[in-house]
A and B are shown apart, each in its own frame.
Chain A
Amino acid sequence: MAKKHNSDAKDRELQDKKSVSRRDFVRTGAAAGVGAVLSMSGTGLAQVSPAEAIQWNYEADIVIIGGGCVGLPAAIRARDLGASVIVVDQNFDPGGKMLHSGSLISLGGGDPLQLRDIKGESDKEGFVTAPPQHTAAELTEDPDFLFRDHTDWSVMDAAAQAPYRYNERDLHRGYADNCYATREFLMANYVRMGRISGTHGNGAMSRARRAVCFLMEGAKTDIKAGTVSKEDAGIEGVRSSHFAPRVMGDGSKVASKGARTNGAALARPLEFSAREKGARFLLNYHMDEIIREGQFSGRVIGIRASYSPRFDPGTGAQLESLWKNGNIDDRAETVFIRARKAIVIGAGGHTANPQFRSMFYPAFRDPAFVSSGWALLGPRGQDASGIIAGMRVGANLAGMQQNLSYGPTFHIPGTLATRDPYTDMLPGHPTFSLRGSTGIVLSPEQFQHLIVVNQVGKRFFNELLVTVKSGGAAFPAGPNKGQPRKGLDHVQLDWRNASAENIRATYSEPNAIHAALAMNEGSKAPDFFSGPIWAIFDRAAVERDKWNIDPPFTSPTNGFFFQADTIEELAAKIYAGHEFQRVPLSHLKETVAKWNSYVDKGSDPEFARGPDAPIYKIDMPPFYAATLYPVWHDSYGGLRINGQAQVIDMQGEPIPGLYSGGESSGGGNQHGLGRALVHGYIAGTNAAKEPS
């Protein structure tokens, strides 16, 4: 078992040691302000352009960094417009974080799905037979209305944050104007979506805009026919698959019986279409640098990428993509890829980069806490490399405060005993062995059966509130989300939405995560990490509430779940066996004894448990400890882009040939896939029109 060192850092060290020779050669010329470099030839000095100075391994019209929610639509759209495309992804399989998402897509502005549901029509394949979930009034709007909703200064959420007033305006004008086309584009590329049902957090207040993607369960997986086999869809509580890292859910309420939903029903069809249309994929390569003609001037001309294969920790076998048509097979340590027209940065965000994300919250500098999708995407996923590469060639940033205006951006999910508590992957996906456990999922109600302690073994909050987070506001409006009026009664751009009176009446954020991340007596200079958090419970809790604490939900070896005969032994096992437990849980025995005395008395004087739910002793052996880790899921704040998805520099000008979107970009605050899909669509469209 790993002890007291950051095993993720070892992986990243390998990449950082890669040497760079050609880049330095180009930079020397750029730093001199020449914009071109000199090379020696047999007959004397000759001027060559930066593009010619580099020995490129590959070239394409458009180089797309990241094969996820931005990259795949950009690739397909660029191919539709006749451009050649190479998609470069650090992972062994495309799909990015989209692959393990819930596949819920909020668009709007009168998009084709809203129009379909207003008329009560089915889809062209007849898969959607469930009735519409919303009235015509809840679905009717146009792009101007959507634009106003997404830039509404007045809306406050239940955590007193403002999700819309800081949105980049030109960006959202472009977004509103392209939602229709993007929805249509998805439907034309094998993506099937059910009835509109609600709207995503920060997807704006006034209309229903969100639909889930699905495939129909069938004898085999056939993207063209719209079917997924039972094996590929996964079995609830038993197995995931390479096709779908999370078991696909039941979409019968919004489509029809047999509809299976989640990110696999979006990412795999888009990947299928991109491959079918001739996009090439260079997988297992991590983009390290975007190359520009001058340091902060001229066009972007290509990228440097390094080999980033991943291996099964048990068998040592290299992990491979599900599909291989269109893959470029290379093993060189470093490659240079020329982009004749444009580069699109769809590399995801910063959630897995502790140094970068600590800009927004220093307590999250702790490398213990990972991003959602940590096993699926590996230590080089979501590492802010797209944002950093853009900054290095002069890009401006946007939306850097917007991580705080969507509640679940970082939170403590109610999933115990796994390092990535956001993602409930089961065995069957190639990366399961990296996490080792699915996790034990508990609702806030179920926390009545346990206590939660910090790294020194002390309680710090009412356990029923530890996983509760307010924030994020979207249709339908109402006081539970921070608005004075409900549903269609909500008024755009109204001062009453932002009044102090309304905020006082609707504020409901418990602030538990901040107590969890607070310094404690185990926090030491210079980082003052708050450390791991542990759920402590006993055999009686497991039997009382019928929890399944066996593998694969827990692992006896991954250091995230322990069992012991006594509380003292439990504390010792945690300290010895958990990689990030830097100090002993010296107070755990006293904490449990005190808790049991509160149960005898009938109330908890420290954190006011008792009036809200029954309280139970923790006294029946064996005793258990399971991690309750915070996770950083959403990434807001990144490269500034305009309504054409062009990356904007510090002078307010587009960087020629450089595009971005999704979590690599900033200035938007809508949770989920819709934002990135539209950005990818716009980026691919405009990148293809760039001159060569």
Chain B
Amino acid sequence: MASQSGVQPHPTSVVVWDIPSAVVAGERFRMKVGIKCSLGSDGSPGSHDSDVCRLTGGDFRIYDHQGAQVAAGKLSGDRWPGTTGLYVAEAEMEAPKAEGLYTWSVKGPQGEGSDAGVPHAESSVGFGVRVVARPDYLVAVEAVDKVSHKPIPGAHVVMHPYRAVTDERGIAEVRVAKGAYKLFVSQTRYLTFGLPVEVTVDMTARAELDLEPERERN
């Protein structure tokens, strides 16, 4: 649809990230929203340099699984680091009150949005929101090197949908709801540790990680 000026709106792409892997029912959570002018992104020759369109101040709206608007925001005018034309904002919203996996969506940009005065068409993207009950129990995970027994800091702990990272002592505390999980602990240069766990009380788990075998180069 052409704008009032008669210029065809540029297409856009919406990206969302930093959505928490587990959101407690009824609690507020945040995520990042990024929007980019995607004219010329198809690589066609002579196309527009989409990095030229600065999407400062464009509005976006967030809709829940039933199509109701749950949040709105405005692009900050900042580009996300490492990108050439992705303009970003942080959005905050409230999680549904019932557990489950929901598909929500973001639509934008609305309004003029571009400091070049060129109109941009709305686009949208869906994203998952995993809502969990308030976690009842604390699982303290200790990651150590199997041979040296030294702690492994910065190891990634996953008990889907909960995630954490070990501190300088090699320990991560994960609050989880009661249930059965596969505990994974992984770190660069180590084989991933996996262990089925049943959480019914506060507990500790010790993960002894083996180094990856040396790569044989013939």
Contacts and interface: CB of A to CB of B under 8 A. Distances in A.
Interface of A: 101-102, 104, 200-201, 249, 262, 441, 443, 445-446, 448, 538-540, 544-546, 563, 565-566, 568-569, 572-573, 575-576, 593, 596-597, 600-602, 611-614, 617, 619-622, 671-672
Identify the 5 closest CB pairs spanning chains A and B, nearest first.
A600-B128, A576-B43, A572-B43, A614-B158, A602-B160
Given A600-B130, A671-B218, A612 B85 contact: no
Given A619-B16, A619-B17, A620-B17, A568 B38 contact: yes
Contacts of A448: 186, 192
A446 B188 contact: yes
Q: Which of B41, B50, B190 has the most CB atoms of chain A within a 10 A radius of its CB?
A: B41
Contact of A569 (B38, B158, B190): B38
Contacts of B130: 600
B101 A601 contact: yes
Interface in B13-66: 13, 15-19, 34, 36, 38, 41-43, 50
B73 interface: no
B218 A104 contact: yes
Contacts of B127: 596
B130 to A, nearest CB: 6
| Interface range on chain B (Cβ under 8 Å from partner) | 35 or more
Contacts of A596: 127-128
Interface in B123-167: 126-128, 130, 156, 158, 160-161
A35 to B, nearest CB: 46
Contacts of A601: 101
A602 B83 contact: no
A446 B215 CA distance: 14
A621 B86 contact: yes
B41 A572 contact: yes
A611 B182 contact: yes
A600 B194 contact: no
A568 B218 contact: no
A566 B186 contact: no
Contacts of A200: 218
Nearest to A613: B192
A613 B218 CA distance: 28
Interface in B189-218: 189-192, 194, 212, 215-218
Given A600-B130, A613-B184, A617-B17, 20 more contacts: A102-B216, A262-B217, A441-B215, A445-B192, A565-B15, A565-B85, A566-B13, A566-B36, A568-B13, A568-B38, A569-B41, A600-B128, A602-B161, A611-B182, A611-B194, A612-B194, A614-B160, A619-B16, A620-B18, A621-B82
A518 B161 CA distance: 34
Contacts of A546: 188
A566 B156 CA distance: 26
Contacts of B34: 565, 621
Given A101-B218, A572-B43, A597-B128, A565 B188 contact: no
A601 to B, nearest CB: 7
Most buried by A among B84, B188, B189: B188
Given A102-B217, A104-B218, A445-B191, A572 B82 contact: no
A257 B210 CA distance: 26
Contacts of A575: 43
Contacts of A102: 216-218
A557 to B, nearest CB: 16
B55 to A, nearest CB: 11
Contacts of A672: 218
Contacts of B82: 539, 563, 621-622
Nearest to A603: B160
Nearest to B182: A611
B19 to A, nearest CB: 8
A335 to B, nearest CB: 35
B156 A614 contact: yes
A544 B41 contact: no
13 contacts: A445-B191, A448-B192, A539-B82, A544-B156, A545-B188, A566-B86, A568-B38, A572-B42, A575-B43, A600-B128, A612-B192, A619-B15, A672-B218
A428 to B, nearest CB: 18
Nearest to B218: A102
Contacts of A443: 189, 212, 215
A445 B186 contact: yes
Contacts of B156: 544, 614
Most chain A beta-carbon contacts within 10 A, residue among B38, B50, B186, B218: B218
A272 B83 CA distance: 51
A569 B13 contact: yes
Interface string B66-92: 000000000000001011111000000
B198 to A, nearest CB: 16
A102 B182 CA distance: 39
A566 B186 CA distance: 28
Contacts of B86: 565-566, 621-622
A573 B43 contact: yes
Interface string B84-105: 1110000000000000010000
Nearest to B88: A621
B83 A622 contact: yes
A134 to B, nearest CB: 16
B36 A565 contact: yes
Contacts of A573: 43
Determine which residue in A565, A576, A622 has the highest number of CB atoms from chain B within 10 A of its CB, and name it: A565
Most buried by B among A249, A262, A569: A569
Contacts of A597: 128
A614 B41 contact: no
A551 to B, nearest CB: 15
B126 A593 contact: yes
Contacts of B184: 613-614
Contacts of B85: 565
Contacts of A602: 160-161
Interface centre among B43, B161, B190, B216 (most CB of A within 10 A): B43
Contacts of B43: 572-573, 575-576
A441 B189 CA distance: 12
Nearest to B126: A593
A619 B190 CA distance: 25
Contacts of B182: 611
A600 B182 CA distance: 15
A242 to B, nearest CB: 20
A614 B84 CA distance: 31
Contacts of A568: 13, 38, 41-42
Contacts of B84: 565
Contacts of B128: 596-597, 600
